[in-house]
A and B are shown apart, each in its own frame.
Chain A
Amino acid sequence: MTTRIGICSTAHVNAEVYAALLAKMPGVELVGLSDENPERARYRANAVGTVPLSRRELVRSADGVLVCSSTAAHGELFDLALTNDVAVLCEKPLATSLAEARELRDRCEREGLVAGMAMPLKFSRPIRAAKRAYERGDLGTLLAISGTNRGRMPGGWFTDPDLAGGGAVMDHTDHIVDVVHWITGERVTEVYAEIGTRFYDVPVEDVNLLSMELSDGTSFVLDGSWSTPMENTFWGDATLELIGSDDVVTADCFGQSYTCVRDTGRDKGVESVFWGADPNNALLRDFIGALETGREPMTPLSDGVKTVRVMEAAYESAARDEPVEISY
C-alpha cells in the first residue's frame, strides 16, 4: 500500500527538507505541494519531482499532510484537514496563542483526527542515548538541565509578530522543552525570561534566554536565541545536558559533523556537514505509521499545547520582569 502525503505550504524552511525525504521514501507518494505563492510552489514541486496543487486539491488527494505554513495560518489548514479527514503533522509551534493551540487540540481530539507535532529531536539518536542513560539511572537524581537551540535569524514571516506570534521565543523554545518533558516526564512549572532584540533590526525578540524549573524542582536553562551568524558554518545547534547527582550526560544532536572547505563554486567557503542519522526521516516514518494505523503520532498536539504554554509564560515573565508559574 502506498501512503499519499502532501505538503501544505512551503513557508516554513523545513518544508523543502521534508519534501526531499518524502520524495525518496519507499511506500510513500508525495502527491504534491501547495503554497500561497504559485511561483514558489511550482519551483519547489519541480525540485523534488512532484506537482504544485491548490491546498484544496492537496487535502483531497492525500492521506496526510505536513502543515508548513506560517504559524498564524495553521488554523485554516487544520480546518481543511478536519473537513477532509486528512491526518496532520504540524510544524511548531502549534499556534500563535495558547487559546488557539488548545482549540486546535480539542477539535482534533473530538473528531478523532490523527494529528501530531513535527518534533524531530525525539528521534535524534544523541537525544535518545541521553534518555536511555537517564532511564537506566546512570545520572542518579536529576539536578539540572541545560539546553541550547540557537539558529540563524530566519527572516520572512518568522519575524512578523502577527504571522509568527513572536520571534526567537516562538521559534526556538519548542524543541528542547518538548524533549525535556518527554525524557523526564515532568513539566516546566516556572519560567523566567531574559529576552530582547540585540542582533537584528526586526520587530520581534532575537534573544531568548529562559531559566525554568520543572515540576520536580529540577532547574532548566535554555538559550534559544537567533545568535548564530549568517556566515556560520552550520545553521545553529540543538544540545541538551542532563546534570545528575552521579553523572552528567551531554547530547549534541548535530555533533556528528565534518568540515568542508571549498575555494570555488556556488557553495564556496567553509561548511559543517552533519553526517549523523537524520531525525526527520524517523519523524516522517512515525507520522506515516500513525496515519496508517490510526495511532497517535510520537508528539500529540497536547504536547504542542504544553510548549506553547511555556512560550506564553516566557512573554509574560519578560513583561513583568519576574518568574511566572505555570499550571496546565
Chain B
Amino acid sequence: MRTVAIVGRGRAIRRNAERYECIDDVAVGGLVTDAPTEIPEGIDAPAYGTLDESLRELPVDAVDVCGPAAEHRSTVRTALEAGLSVRCDPPLAYAREDLDSLVSTADASDGRLVAASVNRFSRLYGRMRDHAEGGGIGSLGVARIKRTAPSPDQGWNAWYVALRAAETPGTVLGAVAAHDFDVLRWLFGPIDRVFARAAEGGAYDHVHVLLRFENGAKGQVEVTWSDAAVPPRVEIELAGDHGVVRFTEEDAVSVRSSGGETIDPAARDDDCYARMLRAFVNRSDRAADGAADVSAAAAATRAVLATRRSIAEGRPVSIDEVSA
C-alpha cells in the first residue's frame, strides 16, 4: 500500500481524497493544511500543520499539493529534499529566482516533481491533441483559449474553484493562465514571446495575453475572473491551415435536469483529476506525455513570469528574458 499526503484546503482536499479512494493500493495517510477547520467530513486521515510534521509520523510515498507550487514553495521543497514524488499545479513560481531555485532542487532530488495542468488529462484536450498531432488541422495559425473563471459554484471544470480559495485575484489570473500555457506548449511547442494587459475592478479581473510560438504560430489566452455568480465558461479554438478545432462550454453539457441544471457525466474514478492522480501515483505519466517533465513545467511558468513582466512594463517580453 502506497501512502499519499494531501496538502491544501477544504474542497480541494476532498476532491483528491475521493479520487484516491478509487485507486487500488493507495491510501491517503495524512492531510497537511493551514486551515484545519475547513477539512471536510468523512476523510479518515490525520491532519498536520506542516509536511515536516506528517513526514515525522507517517511513511509517506508521495505528496499531492492541491494548488500551484508557487503558493506552496516550502512544502514542495521539503518533499523533494525528502526524495519523494510531488505533484502540484502550475505555476511553479511567481519570480524567476524562485523558479530557478526550485528547478535546481528538483534536479538534485531523488524525488520527482510533476506540475502539468490537469487539463492534459482531460479527454477533451487529449482528443484535441490527437487532432493537432495527426495533422487534422494542418499547421497551427492561431490558438485561442478564453475562460471565464467561475464563482464558487462547482462547474464542469472546477479546478479553479480550489485555486480561488487559496489565491488573491491578481495571482489567480497568472495561475489560471499557467494551465493554458502548459497545454498550449504541450500542443504546439515552445512559446517564444508574450504581450499582456490586465485590468481589475469590482467583481471582475481580466487579463489577455498574445503569444508567439517558436514555430511562428500565434495565440491568445484570455481569462476573466469573477466573484459574481457567473457560470464557468471555456472556449478553445485551434485554427490551422487545414481546418479548425473549436470547443465552447455548451459542448460539454451532455446531461441536463428538467430544472435546467447541467449534470457532469464524468465518473469520479475516471475524470481528469482521477486520471491525473492515477498517473501520478502509478508513475504512468505516458498518458499525458511528459507531465513529469520539470523543464516543461518550468517553461509554462516562464510564460507566466513573462506575462507578469509584460503587464508591468507594457511591452512584449520574450521567454529568454525570464530564463536562467
List residues of A whose CB falls within 8 A of some B CB: 140-141, 143-144, 146, 192, 194, 196, 198-200, 206-207, 209, 211, 213, 217-219, 221, 223, 225, 227-229, 231-232, 243-248, 321-323
Contact = CB atoms under 8 A, between A and B. Distances in A.
A187 B224 CA distance: 23
Interface in B159-216: 195-206, 208, 210-212, 216
B224 A243 contact: yes
Interface stretch (B40-48, B70-78, B134-142, B289-297): B134-142
Nearest to B216: A196
Nearest to A141: B201
A219 B210 CA distance: 13
Residue among A141, A219, A231, A232 with the highest chain B CB neighbour number at 10 A: A219
Given A206-B141, A225-B141, A227-B239, A198 B199 contact: no
B239 A192 contact: no
A209 B220 contact: yes
A6 B204 CA distance: 49
Interface residues of B, number: 42
B169 to A, nearest CB: 12
A198 B141 contact: yes
Contacts of B239: 199, 225, 227, 229
A192 B199 contact: no
Given A248-B148, A248-B224, A248-B230, A219 B206 contact: yes
A144 B314 CA distance: 16
The 7 closest A-B pairs by CB, nearest first: A245-B202, A198-B141, A227-B239, A245-B201, A219-B197, A143-B199, A144-B206
A144 B208 CA distance: 9
9 contacts: A141-B202, A143-B201, A199-B240, A207-B141, A209-B210, A221-B210, A221-B222, A232-B244, A244-B201
Contacts of B197: 144, 211, 213, 219, 221
Contacts of A199: 141, 239-241
Contact of A228 (B139, B230, B244): B244
B201 A192 contact: no
B315 interface: yes
What is the predominant secondary structure among interface residues of chain B facing chain A?
Answer: strand
A229 B220 CA distance: 18
Interface of B: 139-142, 144, 146, 148, 195-206, 208, 210-212, 216-218, 220, 222, 224, 226, 228, 230, 237, 239-244, 314-316
B208 A211 contact: yes
Contacts of A194: 195, 210-212, 218
A219 B207 CA distance: 9
Contacts, number: 116
Given A207-B141, A213-B197, A243-B224, A198 B202 contact: no
Contacts of B205: 143
A182 to B, nearest CB: 21
Given A322-B316, A323-B315, A229 B140 contact: no
A166 B52 CA distance: 62
B204 A207 contact: no
Nearest to A226: B141
A199 to B, nearest CB: 5
A198 B212 contact: no
Contact of B199 (A218, A225, A229, A323): A218
A207 B237 CA distance: 14
Contacts of A217: 199
B316 A198 contact: no
B140 A198 contact: yes
Contact of B218 (A141, A196, A321): A196
Contacts of A227: 141-142, 237, 239, 244
A322 B206 CA distance: 22
B208 to A, nearest CB: 4
A246 B226 CA distance: 9
Contacts of A144: 197, 199, 206, 208, 224
A246 B239 CA distance: 33
Contact of B314 (A200, A207, A221, A323): A323
Given A245-B203, A323-B315, A229 B244 contact: yes
B217 A243 contact: no
Contacts of A225: 141-142, 239
Contacts of B196: 211
A311 B211 CA distance: 20
Nearest to B196: A211
Contacts of A321: 316
Given A248-B230, A322-B315, A192 B204 contact: no
Contacts of B241: 198-200
Contact of B204 (A209, A219, A232, A245): A245
B206 A243 contact: yes
Nearest to B141: A198
